[in-house]
Amino acid sequence: MTQKAFNTRFAPSPTGNLHLGHGYSALFAARKAQETDGKFILRIENIDDGRCSTEAEKGIYDDLSWLGLNWDKPVMRQSERMDAYKAALVTLLEKGVLYPCFCSRKDIQNAIDDDLNAPHSFEGPIYPKTCLHLSQGEIDVKMATGVPYALRLNSEKAEALIGRDLTWFDREKGEQTVDLSVMGDFVVARKDIATSYHLAVVVDDAAQGINLVTRGVDLFPATHAQVVLQALLGYPTPEYWHHKLITDDNGTRIAKRDNPLTLKQMRQSGMSAQDVLLWLEKEF
Ligand code: GLU
């Protein structure tokens, strides 16, 4: 039997310099494609205007080239894909599975403050559905007075359409049944742009024919949200491979907020790419 060719992607947000954790993730995706004669795709996830920079984007190309990685060209940049996200949003609106949410972060925090057991997702508190209970009249007034709003998934309506038996497969943890409560009524379109991380990723993974999504296990919960969007939009669900997060020599997870040594610093200090690859190799 021939092995299925896996099209994989590495999808960094150009908000800073890459570190060893990114190097591992990129190498992981590239290998799964290479081993099966599939495509390795690099996608620049730069919907966040204020946090992304072209300088950081250039750094990504330089770092990955230094590590000897080759990716499919041209590179998809999410900032150029807003029309595609809008079209998907219209489809979801037509299905009646979204509702406007006028809450600020503070409103949400206040609403859950009384509830010590309020559930959280990796993106923060699970939304307490405050705006789901607004009347059409209240919504009309807020919209007419220009109160900014996000669009959230109405998970009950979504469940009515997709059922309760939706599954996805993780190559590390096996078959998973979609659990809508993991992400709750998550944001599908932010207040400032007509998309969100989840919607953009789902639209682009489908457009690029990604059939194996590899990424860190920290994004495991996000997959519950993304598989729901795939089902609602009629897209195929890829396989997933959530890989471990690599740690430094002290066993601490390498994370951007701790200012770890970056690939750029390693490159500029004269370290050889071979040394970095050897270090990463022991993680596989
Ligand atoms: N852009 C996301 C990040 O940098 C990754 C998205 C994904 O792999 O689905 O964390």
Per-residue pLDDT of the chain (284 residues; tens, 9 = 90+): 578 999 999 999 999 999 999 999 999 999 999 999 999 999 999 999 999 999 999 999 999 999 999 999 999 999 999 999 999 999 999 999 999 999 999 999 999 887 778 888 888 889 999 999 999 999 999 999 999 999 999 999 999 999 999 999 999 999 999 999 999 999 999 999 999 999 999 999 999 999 999 999 999 999 999 999 999 999 999 999 999 999 887 888 888 888 888 999 999 999 999 999 999 999 99
Q: Is the CB of 45 under 6 A from ligand 1?
A: yes
How does DSSP classify residue 127?
P
| Residue minimizing CA distance to atom 4 of ligand 1 | 12
**Which of 43, 170, 199, 201 to probe ligand 1 with, by most ligand atoms within 8 A of CB?**
201
Q: How far does residue 15's CA lie from ligand 1's centre (Å)? A: 12
Q: What whole-number distance in Å separates Cα of residue 186 and Cα of residue 94?
A: 18
Q: Is the CB of 215 under 6 A from ligand 1?
A: yes
Q: How far does residue 139's CA lie from ligand 1's centre (Å)? A: 33
Which bin fits 75, alpha (ψ -120 to 50), beta or left (φ > 0)? beta
Q: How far does residue 13's CA lie from ligand 1's centre (Å)? A: 7
**Which of 219, 226, 237 to probe ligand 1 with, by most ligand atoms within 8 A of CB?**
219
Q: Is the CB of 11 under 6 A from ligand 1?
A: yes
Q: What whole-number distance in Å separates Cα of residue 258 and Cα of residue 265?
A: 15
E strands, the chain, in order? 8-10, 40-44, 76-77, 98-101, 120-121, 124-125, 150-153, 167-170, 174-177, 187-189, 212-216, 239-243
Tell me which residue of 110, 115, 130, 104 sits closest to 184, measured CA to CA.
Answer: 130
Q: Is the CB of 23 under 6 A from ligand 1?
A: no
Ligand 1 atom closest to 216 (CA): 8
Q: Give pLDDT, residue 130.
A: 96
